[in-house]
Amino acid sequence: MAKLLQVSHNIEHIQSDSSTFMSSTINISYFNLSIWEIRKVWENINVELVALISCLHVNNRHIHPMKY
């Protein structure tokens, strides 16, 4: 999650700093890296959520085997 916050900070930095061509070029490369990082973090979150949800379903069946 800290990584995700760092990525969003990078994006804000890109939007605010476009004074010279050189800084813009550097920022674009940061932005591309940030998008990649967001995608990786999001994939990890999705995998963890799927695992958590399936775990909850299994636990729920054990706790409430039948409804009366």
Does some domain include residue 38? Answer: yes
Does some domain include residue 48? Answer: yes
Does some domain include residue 17? Answer: yes
Higher pLDDT, 33 or 53: 53
Does some domain include residue 19? Answer: yes
The number of folded domains in the chain is: 1
pLDDT at position 66 is: 56
Does some domain include residue 68? Answer: no
| Core vs surface per residue 10-25: b (16+ CB within 10 A) or e | beeebeeeeeeeeeee
| CA nearest to 13, candidates 1, 29, 48, 2 | 29
Q: Which residue's entry shows tokens 């775990």?
A: 55
User: Does the pLDDT value for residue 9 go beyond 70?
Assistant: no
Does some domain include residue 43? Answer: yes
Does some domain include residue 12? Answer: yes
pLDDT in tens, 34-68: 777 777 878 888 888 888 777 776 666 655 555 55
> What's the pTM?
0.32
